[in-house]
Amino acid sequence: MNISAASHTENSEEVLKNARFIQDVRNQVATVVVGQDEVVERLLISLFTGGHILLQGVPGLAKTLLVSVLSKSIDLDFSRIQFTIDLLPSDILGSQILDQKTNEFVTRTGPVFTNLLLADEINRAAPKVQGALLEAMQERKVTIGNETMSLPAPFLVIATQNPVEQAGTFELPEAQLDRFMLCHRLDYPDPSEEREVLKRNMALGIRKEDRGAVVNTEFDVMKQQPVGSAEDLVNCMQAVNDIHVSDTFLEHVIEVINRTRNHPNIELGCSPRGGIALIKASRARALINGRNYVIPEDLFVLAEDVILHRIRLNYEALADGLTGKSVLQDMLRDLGATPSLISREA
């Protein structure tokens, strides 16, 4: 397949206005989080498309800090749930309790009723709890007792996951992983970024409280003033919906998805939800980069985050030492992707 660039080159004023809002948010995040530009882009893509995102990486990569500062940059409600083995579905969704005065049951909603929900270390909870959250993500409704309530709009789950080989974790099944539009894998910072992290940490200082003092953290120095509003977010969501997708680009997405289903090394290929996610994410990336049309680069750069968690290699491929990442990258090269467009080598 030889993918050609789209012909649309017009840049509207509305696109530029949204681009300024996007840059303001990125600048705000950069005041607290060093580097991680790629992760910030993926989070913005999720925000603009309403697609839930899973962040995967070892502890200590500032996943929680990143999501927290992003939520404060936009005037949206925010909740955080720390997933643990003893968490119950009612701790997330809410429950009905008996009012002793009226002798009637009263519904108390859980932390899922918010705009941005950080599900921290989702794979430390039992599958029953994971299933309750993932059902709410799909239906955007929650039933407590006999009462069914809609979740707020926008509603976005940003889940973090530790590597499954770590003790005390439960792997998410393929059907549940498919609920996440993107799954982004975080790497360690490079030496220059790590040096900046250490310098900033040494400069945090302490603050006096009561008769003692408390050591400041990055959360304490975070700016509380948002640089954008929910209205700005809605404008970006509308702009993403207006991004032009050519018939040629559409055919290329279909070909990529079909190759995952017919590849000799892949046992489980992408669902139709994968193709939908690839187009949505490509449109959002186009907006973030100041375009009102998608280009092949969008498809190639986002393929790993959209496709990799939706495919499963067969036994022969695993026995040969192949990984899903290496198989996907070989596939993208066959489709014309240059090495620079594939984010990280296998």
Segment 208-259, tens digit of pLDDT: 888 888 888 777 777 778 888 888 889 999 999 989 999 999 999 999 999 9
pLDDT at residue 123 in the model: 82
Cβ atoms within 10 Å of 171's Cβ, excluding its own: 12
Give the separation between CA 270 and CA 276, rounded to whole angstroms: 11
What's 151-208 look like in SS3? CCCCCEEEEEECCCCCCCCCCCCHHHHCCCCEEEECCCCCHHHHHHHHHHHHCCCEEE
Token digits of residue 251: 């055919």
Burial-class residue 333 by CB neighbours within 10 Å (0-12, 13-18, 19+). Answer: middle
Q: Which domains does the chain have, with CATH numbers?
A: 9-187+215-220 (3.40.50.300), 243-341 (1.10.8.80)
Sign of CA dihedral 13, 14, 19, 21: positive
Does the pLDDT of residue 19 top 90, yes or no?
Answer: no
pLDDT at residue 2 in the model: 42
Contact between 311 and 177 (Cβ < 8 Å) = no
pTM to 2 decimal places? 0.86
Rounded to a whole number of angstroms, the distance between the first and last alpha carbons of the chain is 22
Catalogue the long-range contacts made by 95-99 (C-beta closer than 8 Å, 24 or more residues apart). 95/144, 96/144, 96/145
Q: Measure Cα distances from 284 to 6, 23, 48, 50 in Å.
A: 16, 14, 6, 11
Does the pLDDT of residue 344 top 80, yes or no?
Answer: no
Does the pLDDT of residue 15 top 80, yes or no?
Answer: no
325 Rama class: left (phi>0) / alpha (psi -120 to 50) / beta: alpha
Sign of CA dihedral 86, 89, 92, 97: negative
Give the separation between CA 267 and CA 280, rounded to whole angstroms: 25
pLDDT tens per residue across span 313-325: 989 888 888 888 8
pLDDT at residue 228 in the model: 82
Band of pLDDT at residue 154, cut at 50, 70 and 90: confident
Rounding to the nearest 10 degrees, give the CA dihedral for residues 181, 92, 82, 169.
-70
pLDDT tens per residue across span 273-288: 999 999 999 999 999 9
3-class DSSP state of 153: coil
Which residue type is seen at 96?
Q
pLDDT at residue 246 in the model: 92
Segments of the chain assigned E as strands: 53-56, 78-82, 94-99, 104-109, 116-120, 141-144, 147-150, 156-161, 182-185, 206-209, 212-215, 266-268, 312-313
Does the pLDDT of residue 9 top 50, yes or no?
Answer: no
- Closest of 337, 239, 339 to residue 295, by C-alpha: 337
Which residue type is seen at 225?
Q
Backbone φ and ψ for 334, nearest 5 degrees, come out as -60, -30
Token digits of residue 218: 């990055």
pLDDT tens per residue across span 79-105: 888 888 888 888 888 888 888 888 888
Give the separation between CA 38 and CA 187, rounded to whole angstroms: 11
